Structure 1
Amino acid sequence: MHGRGTTHLVRLTGGMTALALAAALLVTAPTAGAQAASPPRPASLAAASSAAAAAPCDPFTAPTLDASVPTARDVIGIDLGDRDVTTQESDSYLTAVAAASPKVVDGVLATTVQGRPLRYAVVGQEKWVTPSGLDRIGRDLGRLRDPKTPEAQARQIIRSMPSILWVAGNVHGGEESGTDAALRVLYELAARTDCASQGILDDAIVVVLPTQNPDGREADTRRNAYGFDMNRDWFARTQPETDGKVEMLRKLPPQLFIDAHEMGRATYFFPPNADPVYHDIGETPLDWIYKLYGPAMQEAFGRFSIPFFNGDVYDLFYMGYGDSVPATGFNAAGMTFEKSSGDPASQRVREQYVAIWATLSAAGAKDDELLTQWCAEHVKAYQQGVAGELEPNQLYWEGAEITNPVPDTKVRHYFLRTDDPAKTEEVQRVVRRLQRMDVDVFRLVRPLTVPDYTPYGRPAASTTLPTGTYWIPMAQGQKHWVQAMLNEDTYVPFPYFYDVTAWSSPLLENIAGGRSGADLKPQAAPLALQAEPVSAVTGAAPRLGVWQISATSTASIESAGWLRWWLDNRVGLEHTDLTAAQIAGGALADIDVLVVPSGSDATASNALGTAGRAALDQWVRDGGRLITLRDSSRLATRLGLTSATYTAATSDIPGSLIRVEVDGRSPLAAGVGDTAWAMYEYDFVWSAAAGATPVRYPAAGDPDWFISGFAEGEEQLHGKSAVVDEKVGDGRVVLFGFDPNYRAFTGGTARMLLNAIMGPDPSASVQAKAVALKATSAPAVSDRMVISVRPGAADRVQALLSARSASADVVRSPGVVSFRVDLGGKTADEHPWAQEVALDAAKLGPQVVAIRLP
C-alpha cells in the first residue's frame, strides 16, 4: 500500500519580509499501519515562494482600469471598506459590474430560507462566460474528472480549458469582510487591464460568491434563518443555501475554493492548516496548499507587513466545512481564511483582499498545470480504489504524534442493503447524497457472495448479498468522497477536535451495509438518480408545541433550529412556538405534545417561574406528552417528572456515533430496528429502570458495543439509558439523553423522535415515582471547551486558565482531569482566547487525553 510520509512542517507566524521555512522532513520510521514513507513534500516552501516571486508580473502592480466598469462608489455611494455593505448593496454592485463588463456574467444559485437570492458572478474571457461556453467547460471538466477518459483526450481538453477558481465569503452572517473583499476582487478582475488581472484570467475563470448567508448577514448572526451553522452543513446539504452552492460547484468544479471568514482571535489565519487532516484527502490539493498557495500568501503578507499565522486551530478534518468538502469531494485546494473581527472594516477588507488576490495570482501563474494535476488526482484515486488502498494518516504540522493510524486494510467495495422495507427512505437519502456528489452507484442484478463482507461495527463473514443491494465501488474518481461518506471510522489521528469525529452516512441513517476488500466482479446495473425521499407520516397529527429555552445559547439556538427545519421540511408537522411566559399563562391547554430542544435546565426553570413550573407539571400529569432533547432533559428531574437520574460525563467522546440497543416492544422502535447509532457529544449519562429504558447503551462485553469516532473512558456508558420513557400521572415523559436530530442529519434516531411525537403510549409503561431532584452542579458541556489531561498536567492547564481569568468546572475520573471551560455561549471562532488556550494545552503532548472546541 502506498503511503504519504509522516512529515512535519515548521511553524511560521508574523509579518515577514522574507520567508524562513525549513524543509519538510521525514521523521522516524513508520509504525504499523502508517505505511512506508514516500519522499517528503516540497523541499522547501521558501523555494516554492521564490519561484512564484520570480514571475514577470507583480500581482500587486499599480492597476490600470477600464472606466466603463463602475466602482462601488458609483453604484452604492461608498468605497468598499468604508463600512460593511448590506446584502442588497452587495447584490446591486455585483449585478452592476456584470451589466457593465463583457467578462462577467451573474446569476442566482439558490434562494435563502427567507427568500433572498444567493447571487454569484463568473469572471473570465468573454468566450468562456457565455452560456454555451460555461456549458462546454462544465462538460469538459466532467471528462477530466472521469478516470476513464483517454489520456490524449484529456491533454487536448486541458490545452483549451480554463481552471476554475472560487471565492466565497460570509458563510457566517456576522463575519462580513469576506463579502466586501470578494466584491473588490470582482471589480478588479472586471476593470483591470494590466498584467495582474490578465495573469489570472488568461487561463482561469473566477466564480465569486460574495455572501453565502444573506439572511444571517442581514440579522448579523452566525447562522442562517433556521439557526444552522452552514459551515457544518456541507455534506448533508440540508439548507437551501448549502444545497444550491454545492450544485453550482458540480457544474463548475473547482481547483481552488477560498472560504473567507472572520474570527475572535487577533491577526489573520490562512493555510497551511492545523492537524488533523482527514486521511483520505488526495495529495494534489494538499500539495497546492503547502507548495503554492501558502507560500504565495506568506510572501504577500510579508511584503505588506501584515501579521498572520498558519497551522494553528483550523483543521481540515470534519466533512462539513467549506474547505474539507471542496478538497475531498472535488479535489480542490479548499482553504479557510480567518481575519480578526475586531479590526476596522477597511483593514479587514484589505487583508482579505490581499490573501485572495495573492492566491488567485499564484493559481493563474500555473497555466495548464492545475488541470493536469487535477485530472491526474482523479486517475490516482481510481487506481487506489482498484487496489483497495486507503490513504494513511499523516501529520502536516509540528507538535503532534499519530496515535491512531489508519489500519492497513483493503477496501474495494461498499454495499448498502435494501432488503428492509422500513428503511427505504433512509437508504434512498444516503444514495441520493452520493449521486449528487457524482459517485457511481450500482444495483446488483444477481446475488453476490462476498467472502469477507464486513458489516458496520461487526466482524467479517462470508455473506451472500441479495439482488437489489446497492454496490458502490471504490474504483472511481470519487474514491476519496466515497470513503469519507461510507467509512466505518474516521481514524482520528490524535485527540484534538474542532468538531465531531464521526459522520458515516449509513450510520447516521441507521441502514445496513458494509465493505469488502476482495477482488469481486459483481453483476450490477447503474442506478438512476434517486428522487428526494418523502417521509411517510401517517395518522392524525397531535397539536405540537416547541419551546426553545434560550435565544442566546449556541446549543439552544441550533438544537431548536434543527428541530424546526426537520418538522417543516422533513416530516411536515405543523407546530406552535411557545415561550416560558406563554406556558406560565396557560398556553399548554392547546398543546398535546411539547418538544423542548436542548438547553439549560436552570435557564428553563428560572424562565418558567413558579407559575410556569406548576403549569408544566400539571399539564403532564393531566395527559400531556413532554419530549426533552439532550441537555433540556435535566429539566424533568428538576421538576420531579421522571425517576431517571444522571451524572456528568467523565468520558471524552467529542461527537462520535455509538451503537445503541432498541427495545422492539417500545413504540419508539417502529421502523428503527434492534439497534441504532446515537450521536454522543459529552452528554450527561442517564440511568433509569429497565422498563423505562427503551434505548440503552450496550453492556460491557456485548457484541453490539461499537463506537465510530474518538472515545476515551467510554466504559462509563455501558448499560446506561440513552432514552427514558415513563408514564407520569395520565401523561408521558420521553427523555433523550442525546439530540436525536443532531444537525438534522441523524435520520436513524430522528425516526425515534418522530415515533415519540406521533406514536402510541407504551402498552406496559412504567409509572414514574419521581420527586424533584436538586440539580447537579455539573454544567452542560455542549457550549463549553473541554481540555482533558492526565493528572500530572492538571496544574499546568489550571495555570493557563487562571492567566485568562477563565471559569471552568473540573471533572475528575481515574487517570483523567477534565476542564469544562465556560466560553459564555460563544463558539471557539467567536471567542477571543479559546483557541490560544487550546493550542497551549495541546503542547502538553502525551499528557493530553482530548481537547474539544465548540
Structure 2
Amino acid sequence: MARVKTDPADAFQLPARKLITYEDLRDRVARWSAMPSARVERAGVSLEGRDIHLVILEPARGARGGSLPVLFCGGSFGFEAAHVEAQVALIERLLDPADREARRARGNLTVLVMPMPNPDGRVAAIRQWRRFPRSPGFAGCGNAAGFVLNRDFFALTQPETRAMHRVYAEWWPAAVIDSHEDMFSLGVSRPEVCWAPPYARPYHPALPREAIAAIDRLGAAIARAWQEHGYNFLYDPGRRRGLLSLFGVAGRLNLACGFRGIPTVVTESARTPGTQSWNDRVRQKVEAYLACLAEISAHPGLYRKKADMTQRETRGAVLLTPGDSDPLATTALARLLAMHGVRVLPDRARHRAFIIPLNQPRAPLVRALLGRERWNTASLAPAYGVKTRWMETRLPAAPKTTPRVELPTIREETLRALSHAEWLAVPNSWWGVALVNAALKHGIPVRWVQRAAGTNVIRPGTFLLRNIRGAKMAAALAGKIGLLAPARPRDGADLLPLRRVRVALYADQGVDEQHAVHLAEERWGLSTLGFDFVEVSALEVARGVLARFDVLVVPGGHAEEIVKGWDRMAFVHRPPWQTPGRPRGLGRQGLARIRAFVRRGGGYVGIGAGGGTLACDHLHILDARVVCQGVREGVAVLRARDPSHLVTLGLGERFEAYYYSEPAWYIHGAPIFAARGSARNLATFERPEKWRSTDHWRLAEMRRDLAGGGAILAQDFGRGRVVVMAVNPNFRATWLRTAILLSNAIWHVARVRHP
C-alpha cells in the first residue's frame, strides 16, 4: 500500500465554511442568469425541494456551423467535494472574455453544466464536515433518502437522476463528462492520484463501438493535459490497468448514456487525506474539462450525433407479459422504458402485454435492460416480475412516437359489479400491499388468503377487502388503482385477518455511513408498502422504546458495528480519516432489550449481514450460523420449501432475488445461512450456475456453501417470531417483485392468526 501523507494543511479539502454551499450556488446562478452569454434552467427538484440547475453557455450568434452540446455533470456523489468548485470554475472561466485559453478550447460548442446535481447530498456532507472535518462525509454519499444516484440511471427512481436523465435525453450531447473522486485506490493502494480512460476490459456488448472510440480519444486528450501539468496519473491505452470498466455495475450514468451512443467520460481524483492537495483536486478536473472541450471543438465531425448511431437491429422484438402475482408489472416496466425513449407498443392480442421492437435506435438499451444473459445483473424484467420472450419475427418499422402508456382504467360494468360485491380481491403486489394498509387505516376489514378455494381470482396470497361501503368504496378504490375484481370466497378457503402493524426501523451505527444504502432500501420499502414506521436508535432501544411496537426491522449492514458501534480500525474510520463521532452500538443492554421484546411476543425481521447476522451471532434468537458472506452482487435463484408459508406467499416455488455487498466500499452483505435446531429454511439458494452475476468465478469457488444454503429462515422464539433473509428484498428501490417479502415477513412475525 502506498504511504499516505497526513500533514499538509491542504492535503484534504477546504474547511466546510469555505466550500460552495447550495445557497452560494444559488447566488452565483442569479448572477450568471443576468449575463447575455448564459442562461439557467431548472432541470428538476431534489427530494428535499432544492432546485437542480442547468447552466447553458451557447456560442455567440452568427457562429458558423451547428453547435454541438457537451454536458458536464460531476457530483452525483455529494461527498465528493471538489466537483462543485471545479464546475463553477469552468463556468466562470468560460464567461470571462479575457480567458483566451478557455475560449479557444470551447470553440463553437454549447456547454451544459449541472454544477450541483445532488444538492441534498452536498448539504448533508457539508453539515457533517462542519463537525468532523476529516470524515469521509458518508452522510452526503447519496441523496436525502440515502440512495446512491450513480446506481439509479436505469431504474430512475429518484428525482435527481430523473432530472439528469431529462437533460441528456433532451439535449443528446456529443459527450458527457462525469468527474468522480476516489477514496479507496488512488494514492492509497496505487501511487497515481488521478485516472482517465480508456476503461478496462471487458465492455458491455451492447455498447456502440463508436462511443467507445470517442471515449478513448477524450481520455487521451485528458492524459496529455495532465502530463503537461505534471500530475501523477493512471492512463493505460492497453486497457489492462484501468480503474473502471464498462461492464458490471448496473445503473451507472456512463452505461445509461453509452447505450444511447453518447460517449461518457469518467475521471477519478484521489481524495483521501494526504494523497494530494485540494487545489490539485480542483485543477485536475478543470484541466480535464478544457481538454475535452478542445478535443471535441477540434474534431466536431467525429462527435456529431446521427439518429442511427446506435446499433439498430433489422428484425426481432421482445414481448412483455405479466407474471403470476402482479398484473400491473408490465405497465410499470413499459412506462419506464418509454421514459427512456424506447418505443413501446401495446399487444392487441394479449391483455396487459407489450411489444418492444428492436428495429429502433434504443435497441442496445432494450437488450441491456431486458436481456437475461447470465452476466446481465441489470435486467429489470425479474425486478418487476415480468416475463420476457425474445421473438425473431420481422416486424414493421417501429413508429416514430411511442403511444402513451397509462395505468388500466376500470370499465363501467366492472365498477357496477364491484359495488355489489361483498369482497374485493387485491393481488399480493407492492401496490396491493399499499392498498391493503390504506384500507386498514380506514377500518376496512381485510383477509389474507393462505390457501384458496374458489375462483381463479382468489389465488394464494390474494387480499380480500370487505366492501362495507358499497359503490362509494368500490369507486374510490377502483379510481386509485383501476384494477380490482369482485370475489366470493368459498368454504374451505384459509383466510387470515390482517391488522395495522406498528413497525420500528433500526437506524443507527452499523446501518449508516457506507451501509446507509441498506437503510434507504428498507425505509423505501416500508413507505412504498404503506406501513406506519418509526426509526429508532440504539439508545432508544436500550431505554425500552420497543414496547410501543409490534415488529422491529433491522436493515442490512454490519452486525459487529450494530452491537459495538463504528469500527475504528475499518479503513473508512481509521487515520487519515476521522470517525464522525463516538462509536455507540446496542451493547449488552440493547441486545437484552431486543431478546426480551421478541420473547414476550414481538416480531423481528433481519436483513442481510446487518439484521440477519445480528439475529444469529449476537441476539441468539435464531438457531443458525453464517456460513459465508460477501459474494458481491447479482441475482440469485431461490427455491421456496413451502410456497404456502406466509413469508414466501405469492412468490411461487422458484423466484429470483437480488443479493448485494460491495467489498471495495467496505459494504457488508450477502450472507449465507445454515439452519440448525429449531430454525426453519423457508427458501434456499439453488445452484450458482443458475444465478446471474458478473463474478461467476467467485460463485464457483463458493459453490459448496451456496448450493442449498439458507436464504430465508424463520423460527419462533418464546412467544415471538423471527425471520431473516440473506437477499435484499427492496434492492435500490427497483425490485418491486420481491418487495412483498418484507410485507409478508412483517405480517408473519406480527402473529397473523385465525380469528
TM class, shorter-length: 0.7 to 0.9
Distance 2:523 2:320 in 1: 30
Distance 1:741 1:361 in 2: 44
* Aligned with residue 392 of structure 2, among 493, 506, 517: 517
What is residue 206 of structure 2 aligned with on the other side?
280
Gaps of 5+ in 2: 1-13, 126-136, 188-192, 237-241, 409-428, 441-499, 565-584, 662-669
What is residue 809 of structure 1 aligned with on the other side?
none
Partner SS state of residue 678, structure 1:
strand
In structure 2, the CA distance between the partners of 1:86 and 1:761, relative to structure 1 (3 Å rule), is: closer
Partner SS state of residue 294, structure 1:
helix
Partner SS state of residue 508, structure 1:
helix
* Aligned with residue 90 of structure 1, among 1, 7, 25: 25
In structure 2, the CA distance between the partners of 1:239 and 1:430, relative to structure 1 (3 Å rule), is: same
In structure 2, the CA distance between the partners of 1:597 and 1:82, relative to structure 1 (3 Å rule), is: closer
* Within-5 A mapping of 1:387-398: none
Paired residues of 1:648 and 1:684 also in contact (CA < 8 A): yes
What is residue 436 of structure 1 aligned with on the other side?
339
In structure 2, the CA distance between the partners of 1:645 and 1:195, relative to structure 1 (3 Å rule), is: closer
Paired residues of 1:81 and 1:345 also in contact (CA < 8 A): no
What is residue 630 of structure 1 aligned with on the other side?
608
Q: Structure 1 residue 727 and structure 2 residue 716: aligned?
A: yes
Q: Structure 1 residue 592 and structure 2 residue 550: aligned?
A: yes
What is residue 817 of structure 1 aligned with on the other side?
none
Distance 1:664 1:219 in 2: 43
Distance 2:551 2:692 in 1: 32
What is residue 672 of structure 1 aligned with on the other side?
651
In structure 2, the CA distance between the partners of 1:344 and 1:91, relative to structure 1 (3 Å rule), is: farther
**Offset at residue 727 of structure 1 (A):** 2.2
**Offset at residue 526 of structure 1 (A):** 5.7
Distance 2:659 2:163 in 1: 30
* Aligned with residue 123 of structure 1, among 57, 60, 63: 57
Distance 2:154 2:164 in 1: 12
* Within-5 A mapping of 1:599-618: 599-606=557-564, 607-618=585-596
In structure 2, the CA distance between the partners of 1:513 and 1:760, relative to structure 1 (3 Å rule), is: farther
What is residue 335 of structure 1 aligned with on the other side?
265
Q: Structure 1 residue 306 and structure 2 residue 231: aligned?
A: yes
Partner SS state of residue 747, structure 1:
coil
Distance 2:537 2:77 in 1: 27
Paired residues of 1:170 and 1:211 also in contact (CA < 8 A): yes
Paired residues of 1:544 and 1:594 also in contact (CA < 8 A): yes
**Offset at residue 554 of structure 1 (A):** 4.6
Partner SS state of residue 659, structure 2:
strand
Deviates more, 1:341-350 or 1:170-179: 341-350
Q: Structure 1 residue 427 and structure 2 residue 414: aligned?
A: no
Letter in 1 for 2:221: A
Give the TM-score, by structure 1 length: 0.64
Deviations 1:201-242 (A, max 9, x none): 554211101122222222223222222222222212222111
In structure 2, the CA distance between the partners of 1:593 and 1:427, relative to structure 1 (3 Å rule), is: farther
What is residue 159 of structure 2 aligned with on the other side?
240
Q: Structure 1 residue 563 and structure 2 residue 439: aligned?
A: no
In structure 2, the CA distance between the partners of 1:761 and 1:345, relative to structure 1 (3 Å rule), is: closer
Partner SS state of residue 25, structure 2:
helix
Distance 2:62 2:643 in 1: 59
Distance 1:734 1:487 in 2: 32
Letter in 1 for 2:509: S
In structure 2, the CA distance between the partners of 1:223 and 1:707, relative to structure 1 (3 Å rule), is: closer
What is residue 472 of structure 1 aligned with on the other side?
356
Deviations 1:37-91 (A, max 9, x none): xxxxxxxxxxxxxxxxxxxxxxxxxxxxxxxxxxxxxxxxxx9999532222223
* Count of residues in Structure 1 that have an aligned counterpart in Structure 2: 591
Letter in 1 for 2:293: L
Supply the RMSD in Å over aligned alpha carbons: 3.2
Deviates more, 1:160-169 or 1:173-182: 160-169
In structure 2, the CA distance between the partners of 1:120 and 1:699, relative to structure 1 (3 Å rule), is: closer
Q: Structure 1 residue 110 and structure 2 residue 40: aligned?
A: no
In structure 2, the CA distance between the partners of 1:269 and 1:81, relative to structure 1 (3 Å rule), is: farther
Distance 2:143 2:371 in 1: 29
What is residue 366 of structure 2 aligned with on the other side?
482
Letter in 2 for 1:188: R
* Within-5 A mapping of 1:218-233: 218-220=123-125, 221=137, 222-233=141-152
Paired residues of 1:80 and 1:184 also in contact (CA < 8 A): no
Distance 1:215 1:655 in 2: 27
In structure 2, the CA distance between the partners of 1:366 and 1:199, relative to structure 1 (3 Å rule), is: farther
Distance 1:677 1:554 in 2: 28
Deviates more, 1:278-287 or 1:119-128: 119-128
Deviations 1:143-185 (A, max 9, x none): xxxxxxxxxxxxxxxx964222101122222212221111121
Letter in 2 for 1:435: A
Q: Structure 1 residue 215 and structure 2 residue 120: aligned?
A: yes
Deviations 1:120-151 (A, max 9, x none): 2011036699xxxxxxxxxxxxxxxxxxxxxx
Partner SS state of residue 233, structure 2:
coil
In structure 2, the CA distance between the partners of 1:443 and 1:194, relative to structure 1 (3 Å rule), is: same
Paired residues of 1:426 and 1:511 also in contact (CA < 8 A): yes
* Aligned with residue 405 of structure 2, among 529, 538, 557: 529
Q: Structure 1 residue 269 and structure 2 residue 195: aligned?
A: yes
Give the TM-score, by structure 2 length: 0.72
* Within-5 A mapping of 1:753-832: 753-758=742-747
Letter in 1 for 2:386: I
What is residue 685 of structure 2 aligned with on the other side?
697
What is residue 186 of structure 1 aligned with on the other side?
91
Paired residues of 2:55 and 2:114 also in contact (CA < 8 A): yes
Paired residues of 1:556 and 1:597 also in contact (CA < 8 A): no
In structure 2, the CA distance between the partners of 1:207 and 1:620, relative to structure 1 (3 Å rule), is: same
Distance 1:352 1:84 in 2: 16
**Offset at residue 258 of structure 1 (A):** 0.8
Q: Structure 1 residue 386 and structure 2 residue 319: aligned?
A: no
* Aligned with residue 685 of structure 1, among 672, 675, 681: 672
Distance 1:241 1:435 in 2: 18
Deviations 1:716-739 (A, max 9, x none): 322222111222222211101122
In structure 2, the CA distance between the partners of 1:370 and 1:81, relative to structure 1 (3 Å rule), is: farther
Distance 2:327 2:109 in 1: 43
Deviations 1:649-705 (A, max 9, x none): 4xx84311112123321122344333321223462222337993332223699xxx4
